[in-house]
Amino acid sequence: MNAKNMNGGYEEFINFWKNWLDGTKFLKKYNHFLLILCFVSKNDLKEAENYCRFVESRIRLELIFSIELNQRK
Q: 15-44 pLDDT, tens per residue?
A: 877 777 776 677 677 777 777 778 777 778
Q: Is 40 exposed, middle or buried (0-12, 13-18, 19+ CB in 10 A)?
A: middle
CB atoms within 10 A of CB 1: 11
The pLDDT of residue 58 is: 92
Q: Is the pTM higher than 0.85? A: no
**Cα separation, 59 vs 65, whole angstroms:** 10
The pLDDT of residue 7 is: 59
More confident residue, 70 or 32: 70
Mean pLDDT, the chain, as a whole number?
76
Contacts of 36 (CB under 8 A, 6+ apart): 55, 56, 59
Average pLDDT over residues 34-60: 83
